Amino acid sequence: MASRKRYSREFKLEAARLVVERGYSAKKAAERVGCNAWSLRDWVNKFRCEGVFPTVNEPVPEADELKRLRK
């Protein structure tokens, strides 16, 4: 039986930043870093509850700038 893979807090935080600050979907970010998309969604929610990231409806300055630059 395979054991569960453990990720450090730093790894989780950087993966979650791809979703929150860079605008990646959870699926694409998970593929990029090599983890499960459901786990990544949980990490994002956990960090939002802890206050590390803004809530869903709160704007992220970096994300707004990236959207503007992409246009």
The pLDDT, as a whole number, for residue 68 is 81
Ranges of residues in the chain with a pLDDT under 70 are: 1-2, 57-63
Exposure of 9 by Cβ count < 10 A (0-12 exposed, 13-18 middle, 19+ buried)? Answer: exposed
The pLDDT, as a whole number, for residue 26 is 94
Does the predicted model carry a pTM greater than 0.75?
Answer: no
- For CA atoms 25, 58, 45, 62, the dihedral sign is positive
Residue 53: count of CB within 10 angstroms of its CB: 20
